[in-house]
Structure 1
Amino acid sequence: MSSTLFTGGTIWTGDGDTDALLVTDGVVTATGRAAQRDDAQVVDLDGGFLMPSFGDGHAHPLYGGLEAVGPAVRACGSVDEIVTAVRRYADAHPDDEWIVGASYDGSLAPNGLFDARWLDAAVPDRPVVLRAWDYHTLWCNSAALQRAGITADTPDPPLGEIPHREDGSVLGTLREWGATDLMMRVMPARDEQVRIAALGTAADYYAARGVTWVQDAWVEPADVETYAAAARQDALRMRFNLALYADPRHFDEQVTQFAEQRRLAEAAGNELLTAHTVKFFADGVVENETGALLAPYCSGLHSHSGDNRGMRNWEGDALAEAACRVDELGLQIHIHAIGDAAVRQALDAIDEVVRRNGPRDRRPVIAHAQLVDDTDIDRFARLGVIPNMQPLWAQLDSLMTVLTIPRLGQERADRQYRIATLQRSGAALSFGSDWPVSSGAPLDGIAVAVSRRTADGEPEGGWTPQEILPVEQALSAYTAAVAAQAFAENRWGRMYPGAAADLVWLDRDPRRTAPLELPHVGVRATYLQGEPVYEADNGRAAS
């Protein structure tokens, strides 16, 4: 047996502090005085901080890894910078039939509306398709619109919108699945080895930030095949759980395939890969005015904005019926719900699942929960629903001030991301990043959770400070609570004898670090089952 003794720093097990941790063959075997063994290899923490590794309860790692394949537009701070990056990439890749990239900042153009002609100036002769940061929106050039057959006469499809210029011509921005699918169905598929490599890129990204488990919250059949192939090649390098996408337009066909997709993923025989979840989208996003609200939007994109309450993807009782069928398969329900109407619809659906299918340990998840009506707060705990929230979003950044608050109005905007309220209600709060929509670094999100301030420290005292979460609770929401969401609380998420040694070694104690300094806490190493998958000394993932 091979044993490693971690000592020389602060060790937070998730339940309390100790000064030593013994790991044998990838499993925690002892803590404190009982961990002392003369024959163990010693890792000197050098005054640092050892804790359970982070989990990400809602993200899109395959998409995140693929962002490295196309034009580098993520960091661009203007439309001109994006266009320059696309031109530079196209010039360097003259043989690429399509230029595909992600993910641009949707606040850089008025109302998030981007014109095809801006991309035409960079690449007039090949299709260009860029995803917005929200992954609910595409920006396309004219050649791409032509390939997809989208013209001024193309009607808005169900669950989608095609904005037009004042003269009636198609603008070049496509919103939500019904519209983006018109483009996606004519785009060439990525090479499978490129996709497998993208999963490796995602794993390296996460390992460098102390994350060893992620919920991929949007997986389609081709993605399941990619994950299964990577598992067979032993190329995953971290733990993944797949959430199979449930599309209201095709659900009756999809639901018959979920069991086989799960079997395909888990038949690879790699314990790092599971597929026990199904993902529903109840609505869109506030910034597109497609998040479903109980009261109308204040102003915005649409001529009918005076009575616009957003978009419900599942009409009537359809979400509840679909959720019941998924639950009957023994699969976990994971629902994207942004607006307060969508959150209520999601809670109603889970209420119907419990009533119809009876009690069991199902751990349903409502992701984002950006707006929750007062009357719905206590329903999370009562129904056993996990609110998986993205703490990084709870700040007054440009996205919030430019796109969100004008659509919600100040009073309603100040009731967003009620993280502490939900936690105090008894709900089993867990955290996620939604990477690559936003940073996948847990410490970035925790910094906002414990301060409600931007990186510049605004506003002093925090935005909606009543929702500030104590730091140890925030750490738990990104570790033990995610493990519980994953049905893995007996395997990882805390450090106790018998648990997998999934650990992260930080250069200082985040509990004693000023909130605005948390993003600068260094990750010295990340361990998966006791083996280093990232070491800061060489600045890269361990091989």
Structure 2
Amino acid sequence: MSRILFSNGTIWTGTGTTTDALSVRNGRIEALGAAALARDHDERVDLGGGMLLPAFADGHCHPDHAGFEAMGPRVRGLGTVEEIVEEVRRHAAAHPGADWIVGGGYDATIVPDGLFDAHWLDEAVPDRPVALRAWDYHTLWCNSEAMRRAGLDASTPDTPRGRFARRPDGDLLGTMIEWDAVDAVLAAAPARTTGDLVTALAASTAAYVAAGVTWIQDAWVEHGTVEAYLEAARRGLLATRVNLAFRADPARWRAQLAEFATDRERVRALGHDRLTAHTVKFFLDGILENRTASLLAPYSDDPCTRGMPVWPFGDLLEALTAVDAMGLQAHLHAIGDAGIRTALDAIEHVTRVNGPRDRRPVIAHVQMLAEEDLPRFARLGVIANLQPLWARTDPPMTKLTFPRIGPERARRQYLIGSLLRAGVRVSFGSDWPVSDHRPLAGLPVAVTRENAEREPSGGWLPGERIGIEEALSAYTAGVAHQAFAEDERGALAPGKAADLVWLDRDVRRLDPHDIADRTAVLGTWTAGVRTFPPAHRSGV
């Protein structure tokens, strides 16, 4: 028997109550309050006046991409083209044996319209291919050698799922937009090795438990990545629980059905308590910043386009119905109002064809929502997975999004408060590495709708602000529901798994803007095992 007592702090249960003590026995919550204090214990954690609550979870992220970004070149957060080019030069010099330089995370807002020139990278690395993903992961910037190796030139045509930025004379500029264009470059690069993938997953899941997160939804898993997950689990390198969402490719989804079944069975056969594979990811559109999100009406700054749908509608219905018949959960990326409507229409079709079951489909991002579609979420049992950090007037919003959609549609973005009031299940995520993986960074924006400069005063779309406990619930119980795990996690009650996070202060009592900078994660437990930092014993 092993019993841990947590006391001397505020314990937020996630059920509308607080208590002052909690005991854990053999990985599960045993008792709360006086009943916990009355039990003998083997270990005591003195909360020191801090806050204990259900561990956070992330309902939508990309841990392998985050891990690879950390390996370099480290371009995320750099503010000028010159700084990025210099970092690429430094990284290339430090890795003379690398055939390709592949990285990610550059800020697309630092040049007009997000269009970057291959010649800028040629100055740093003229003789080896360089390929950098933008922070949105829907765009890629590469040098001339990368385009040469990929066999791309002025004669390369755009496709329905990819666009090549061009110079006035028709030659390729070096910015690739969306799937077919991005993949045309990356297909020529060497594939990441399983060893590199394992290293990336170990680093990213360790970063998550340091942020108080114990469950994540990897929302973009390719067939070749599954072996790395299995190996990381076998070697004890997954610091968090991870659910895999296999990406459905509109060009080959029929062949993928057998892969999905095989990969799901491989994960199930491993029987590891931190690895599951229950989900399939569908990208339905792109992003507003690239004018590739699918809209009901033309873009305000380009009346010739309504975006770039990824799937032919008939194929989407057929694929989604087949995946649902396999008992897999649908997780759909939808940004624009037409993309979201398409997702809802497809889910409604599947429900009608396959009949009722507890399927819990997820629409991720839900950026620009048509008012008449809002009630359909609750009616269809759809979970809205949102990234609260995006609900603010930051440079991507003011420089790219607002001009693309105009003021009326801008007011229909990230309607978190409206969704909750309509009875919709809301879960939060980060889309890391697109934005910060720390829930403590997302909480302030959900509550204030203000940017780092506390603007606009009172919040952008103030009616969509939510309370701090609602935001905490979206990061805990909301994601647990998305994971079909509400009986196990997301709240503190006897019998539930002891997935816990210990903060040095009660975030409910802070100015929301101070949460990210003034709050520290002091401990994270997964099923009663301390995963951050290394376990230590206090007085017993």
Alignment partners' CA distance in 2, 1:27 and 1:191? 37
- Out of 328, 343, 368, which is 2:340 matched to? 343
- Out of 459, 472, 476, which is 2:469 matched to? 472
Q: State the SS of the aligned residue for 1:51.
A: strand
Q: State the SS of the aligned residue for 1:7.
A: strand
Alignment partners' CA distance in 2, 1:137 and 1:169? 18
2:407 matches 1:380 = no
Give the C-alpha shift of residue 372 in structure 1.
Answer: 0.9
Q: State the SS of the aligned residue for 1:256.
A: helix
Partner of 2:415: 418
* 1:459 aligned partner, one-letter code: P
Deviation per CA, 1:92-148: give whole Å up to 9, x if none: 111111111111111111111110000001101100010110111110000000000
Alignment partners' CA distance in 1, 2:443 and 2:535? 25
Give the C-alpha shift of residue 231 in structure 1.
Answer: 1.4
Give the C-alpha shift of residue 309 in structure 1.
Answer: 0.5
2:29 matches 1:28 = yes
Judge which range, 31-40 or 194-203, deviates more: 31-40
Alignment partners' CA distance in 2, 1:74 and 1:204? 20
Within 5 Å, give how 1:232-271 maps onto structure 2. Answer: 232-271=234-273
Q: State the SS of the aligned residue for 1:103.
A: strand
Judge which range, 392-401 or 492-501, deviates more: 492-501
Give the C-alpha shift of residue 339 in structure 1.
Answer: 0.1
Within 5 Å, give how 1:325-364 maps onto structure 2. Answer: 325-364=322-361
- Out of 85, 98, 111, which is 2:100 matched to? 98
Alignment partners' CA distance in 2, 1:355 and 1:412? 31
* 1:130 aligned partner, one-letter code: L
2:134 matches 1:136 = no
Q: State the SS of the aligned residue for 1:310.
A: coil
Instruction: Note if contact 2:194-2:225 (Cα within 8 Å) is conserved in structure 1.
Output: no
Partner of 1:307: 304
Give the C-alpha shift of residue 225 in structure 1.
Answer: 1.4
Within 5 Å, give how 1:183-202 maps onto structure 2. Answer: 183-202=185-204
Q: State the SS of the aligned residue for 1:330.
A: coil
Within 5 Å, give how 1:137-536 maps onto structure 2. Answer: 137-299=139-301, 305-520=302-517, 521-535=519-533
Instruction: Note if contact 2:216-2:243 (Cα within 8 Å) is conserved in structure 1.
Output: yes
Instruction: Note if contact 1:524-1:536 (Cα within 8 Å) is conserved in structure 2.
Output: no
Deviation per CA, 1:326-346: give whole Å up to 9, x if none: 100000000000000000000
2:55 matches 1:57 = no
Give the C-alpha shift of residue 537 in structure 1.
Answer: 10
Please list every run of 5 or more consecutive structure 1 residues that lacks an aligned counterpart in the other structure: 300-304, 539-543
Give the C-alpha shift of residue 67 in structure 1.
Answer: 0.8
Instruction: Note if contact 1:389-1:432 (Cα within 8 Å) is conserved in structure 2.
Output: yes
Q: How much identity, in percent, do the aligned residues show? A: 56
Alignment partners' CA distance in 2, 1:316 and 1:416? 24
Partner of 2:11: 11
Give the C-alpha shift of residue 378 in structure 1.
Answer: 0.3
Give the C-alpha shift of residue 38 in structure 1.
Answer: 3.2
Partner of 1:302: none
* 1:535 aligned partner, one-letter code: P
Instruction: Note if contact 1:443-1:518 (Cα within 8 Å) is conserved in structure 2.
Output: yes
Instruction: Note if contact 1:321-1:349 (Cα within 8 Å) is conserved in structure 2.
Output: no
Instruction: Note if contact 1:54-1:210 (Cα within 8 Å) is conserved in structure 2.
Output: yes
TM-score, structure 2 normalization: 0.97
Judge which range, 529-538 or 206-215, deviates more: 529-538
Alignment partners' CA distance in 1, 2:252 and 2:195? 28
Deviation per CA, 1:346-389: give whole Å up to 9, x if none: 00000001111111000000000001101100000000000000
* 1:28 aligned partner, one-letter code: I
Q: State the SS of the aligned residue for 1:436.
A: coil
* 2:425 aligned partner, one-letter code: A
Deviation per CA, 1:12-54: give whole Å up to 9, x if none: 1111100000011111100011001233321100000000000
Deviation per CA, 1:43-98: give whole Å up to 9, x if none: 10000000000010000011111111120101201111100110111111111111
Instruction: Note if contact 1:28-1:499 (Cα within 8 Å) is conserved in structure 2.
Output: yes
Alignment partners' CA distance in 2, 1:267 and 1:450? 42
Deviation per CA, 1:242-296: give whole Å up to 9, x if none: 0000011111111232111111222222110000000001100000000000111
Q: State the SS of the aligned residue for 2:29.
A: strand
Deviation per CA, 1:185-225: give whole Å up to 9, x if none: 11101222121011110011111111010000000001111
Aligned length in residues: 533
Judge which range, 155-164 or 119-128, deviates more: 155-164
Q: State the SS of the aligned residue for 1:317.
A: helix
* 1:90 aligned partner, one-letter code: A
Alignment partners' CA distance in 1, 2:273 and 2:529? 15
* 2:455 aligned partner, one-letter code: E
Alignment partners' CA distance in 1, 2:311 and 2:127? 39
Instruction: Note if contact 1:47-1:508 (Cα within 8 Å) is conserved in structure 2.
Output: yes
- Out of 112, 115, 120, which is 1:113 matched to? 115
TM-score, structure 1 normalization: 0.97
Instruction: Note if contact 2:286-2:292 (Cα within 8 Å) is conserved in structure 1.
Output: yes
Judge which range, 180-189 or 111-120, deviates more: 180-189
* 1:180 aligned partner, one-letter code: V
* 1:341 aligned partner, one-letter code: A
Alignment partners' CA distance in 2, 1:120 and 1:494? 53
* 1:261 aligned partner, one-letter code: D
Alignment partners' CA distance in 1, 2:271 and 2:533? 27
Alignment partners' CA distance in 2, 1:67 and 1:296? 34
**CA RMSD, aligned part only?**
1.2
